[in-house]
Amino acid sequence: MAKIAICGYGVVGSGVAEVMAENADSIARNAAEQVSVKYILDRRDFPDDPYEDLIVHDFSQIENDPEVSIVVEVMGGVGAAYEFTKRALMAGKSVVTSNKELVAAHGHELIAIAKKKNLNYLFEASVGGGIPIIRPITQCLTANKLDEVYGILNGTTNYILTEMRQNDASFEDALRQDQENGFAEADPTADIDGIDAARKICILSDLCFGKHMNPEDIKAEGIRGVTSADVEYAKRLGCKIKLLGRGLRTGHETATAYVSPHLVSNSSLLSNVDGVMNGIVVHGNALGDTMFYGAGAGKRPTASAVVADVIDAVKHTHARKYLDWDDAPDGYFTDSAYVPSRWYVRANTSLQQIGWAFGKVNFVTYTGAAEDEYAFATEVYDEISLRKLTGGMNLRSLFRILD
Ligand code: HSE
C-alpha cells in the first residue's frame, strides 16, 4: 500500500482527495497497489470535512513518517512550497505538484535533487490543468526536434475574453464569475497580467527546447488593455482575441518566449478554444503541428493530472522518469521583439500618417466605432520596426495577429 500526503487543502488539494477516494479501485489497478491519503497539511482546520482526521499543521510529521512515499504539493507559491518540496525530496519522498510558479523558477534545481536521491519530481498538472502535455512532450514527441510551442495557457483570461465576445460581459463581471468557479489564482493579477501564462510557457519551452529559461526574462502582457472595441474590430478581421503564450527557437542555440494578446484567425483551431478551456500547439520537425485541448483549470481537471502523476510515481518507486533540461548558455534567451508577425493596430492618427508608414493597409470599422480612431491590420514586421512605424501615432491597441 502506497501512502501519500497532500500539502495544501484548497481547490486542487480537495480535488485530489476527492478523486483519490472516488476512483480508489481503478487507481489501485493502474498503480498495481492500493494508494491512500495519510495526511493533509493545511494551516486551517476543516471541521465536518470527510478528511478532518487527516489534517495536520506541521510538515515535520509528514517528513518524518517513513510510510509516506509521495508528497503532493498543491499549496502554490515559492515560499513554504519550495521549502517543503526540498525537505520531502531530502527525506526520500517523491513529489508531485501543480505549482507552475515553483516549477518555472526552481524546477531545474528540484529535479537535480530528485535525480541525486533516485526519486521523481512530477508536474503534469502545472501546465494546461488536466490536459496531458508534459508527458507527450517528454515521451511521445521525443523523436522530433521541437521548434515552437504556443497556445492558450490560462483559463481565467480565456473565460473573460470569451464572455466579453459572446455575451458582451464586462471584464469585472466575467472575472467575478471565474473566481466563483475556482479557476483564478488566489491573486488574479497573475492571471490577468499574463504572469501565470508566462510561467507555463517557461516550463513548456524548457522541456521543448531542452534549456532553462528564466521566467523573469519572459515579457508578459496580459488582457487589461483589451477593450470591447478591440473585440469588435477583431470580429471584422475574421479573428478572436486570445491571450497566447509562445516559445520558439530563434537560432541554432537561441530561443525566446513571450505572452501577449493576439488576434487569432477564425480558421485556426485555437480560435475555437473558448471559456476556461486551454489549447496548446507543439510543432515538431517530423510530426508538424499537434494540438492538445482540454480543461485548463478547475478542481477535478487539475486533480486528474495530479493523481495520474501519483500513480506514475507509485509505479516508478525505484526508477526515475526522465524529465529534465540543461542550463542555458550565455545569450540563449533572445528578445521577443525580433519575432515577426502581422499586427492589428488601433490608433488616433490620420489617414496620411498611416499611408506614409505602411502604404496600403486593411482597414476595419463597425457601427458605433469611435470617430477619432482607425483600426487596421499590417503586413509582417518585427516589433522593433513596427514601433518605429507607429511612433508618431497615438496608439490605443497593438496586438500580434496569428494567421
Ligand atoms: N489560474 C489558472 C488559470 C489555474 O486560470 O488557468 C490553472 O493553472
**Cβ neighbour number for residue 42 with a 10 Å cutoff:** 17
CA torsion sign for 149, 151, 156, 157 is: positive
- Ligand 1 atom, smallest distance to 157 CA: 5
With a 6 Å cutoff on the Cβ, whether 191 touches ligand 1 is yes
- Ligand 1 contacts CB of residue 296 (under 6 A): yes
- Cα 41 to Cα 263: distance, rounded to the nearest angstrom: 43
Residue 319 has a pLDDT of 78
Choice from 161, 196, 223, 259 to test ligand 1 binding pocket (greatest atom count within 8 A of CB):
196
pLDDT, tens digit (0-9, with 9 covering 90-100), for 64-118: 999 999 999 999 999 999 999 999 999 999 999 999 999 999 999 999 999 999 9
Fold of 134-295: Dihydrodipicolinate Reductase; domain 2 (3.30.360)
pLDDT exceeds cutoff 90 at 131: yes
pLDDT of 374-394, one tens digit each?
Answer: 999 999 999 999 999 999 999
pLDDT (average), residues 156-179: 92
Judged against a pLDDT cut of 80, whether residue 276 lies above it is answered with yes
Top-confidence residue, 211 or 177: 211
pLDDT of residue 403: 84
Predicted confidence band of residue 228 (pLDDT cuts 50, 70, 90): very high
pLDDT at 217: 98
pLDDT confidence of residue 219 = 98
Is 183 a pocket residue for ligand 1 (Cβ < 6 Å)? yes
Stretch 35-62: mean pLDDT, rounded? 97
Pairing of strands 374-377, 362-364: antiparallel
Mean pLDDT of the chain: 96
- The boundaries of every CATH 3.30.360.10 domain in the chain are 134-295
∠ CA 72-77-80, nearest 5°, is 70
Q: Which three cell numbers stand for residue 118?
A: 533516485
- Single out the residue of 369, 106, 402 nearest to residue 271, CA to CA: 402
pLDDT at 29: 98
How far is Cα 37 from Cα 72, in angstroms, rounded to an integer? 10
Q: In the prediction, which pLDDT does 187 show? A: 83
Q: How many CA atoms lie within 13 A of 128 on its CB side?
A: 29
DSSP H/E element including 167:
helix 155-167
Task: Check pocket membership of 156 for ligand 1, CB cut-off 6 A.
Answer: yes
**How many alpha carbons fall within 13 Å on the CB side of residue 264?**
22
Q: Is the CB of 162 under 6 A from ligand 1?
A: no
**Region 149-166 average pLDDT:** 96
According to CATH, what is the number of the domain 340-402? 3.30.70
Residues 6 or more apart whose CB falls under 8 angstroms from that of 300 comprise 15, 18, 19, 130
Residue-wise pLDDT for 296-343, tens only, equals 999 999 999 999 999 999 998 877 777 889 999 999 999 999 999 999
**Ligand 1 close to Cβ of residue 222 (< 6 A):** no
d(CA 210, CA 331): 15
Torsions phi, psi of 385, nearest 5?
Answer: -65, -40
Are 46 and 52 within 8 A, CB to CB?
yes
Those residues whose C-beta lies under 8 Å from the C-beta of residue 325, and which sit 6 or more positions away, are 108, 206, 207, 209, 210, 211, 212
CATH number for 2-130+299-315: choose from 3.40.462.10, 3.40.50.2300, 3.20.20.70, 3.40.50.720. Answer: 3.40.50.720
Instruction: Give dist(CA 181, CA 159) in Å, integer.
Output: 11
Q: What is the pLDDT of residues 108-117, one digit of tens each?
A: 999 999 999 9
Tell me if residue 211 is catalytic: no
**231 and 296 Cβ atoms separated by less than 8 Å:** no
Percent residues over pLDDT 90 in the chain: 92
144 with 290: CB under 8 angstroms? no
Q: How confident is the model at residue 23 (pLDDT cuts 50, 70, 90)?
A: very high
Which atom of ligand 1 has the smallest separation from the CA of 278? 6
**Distance, CA of 309 to CA of 316 (rounded, Å):** 10
- Residues of the chain within CATH 3.30.70 domain(s) are 340-402
Taking the C-alpha atoms of residue 356 and residue 336, their distance in angstroms, rounded to an integer, is 26
pLDDT of residue 343: 98
CATH 3.40.50.720 residue spans of the chain = 2-130+299-315
pLDDT tens digits for range 199-220 = 999 999 999 999 999 999 999 9
Question: Does 144 have pLDDT greater than 80?
Answer: yes
CA of 329 to the centre of ligand 1 (A): 31
Q: Is 327 exposed, middle or buried (0-12, 13-18, 19+ CB in 10 A)?
A: exposed
Cα separation of 199 and 332, whole Å? 18
Residue in 38, 93, 100, 200 annotated catalytic: 200
Residue 331: its pLDDT value, please? Answer: 97
User: Cα separation of 276 and 156, whole Å?
Assistant: 6
For 382, the grid coordinates are 518585427
**Average pLDDT, integer, range 28-40:** 98
Contact 12, 98 (CB under 8 A): yes
Alpha helices in 126-188, H assignment, sequence order: 134-135, 155-167, 171-180
Nearest residue by C-alpha to atom 7 in ligand 1: 297
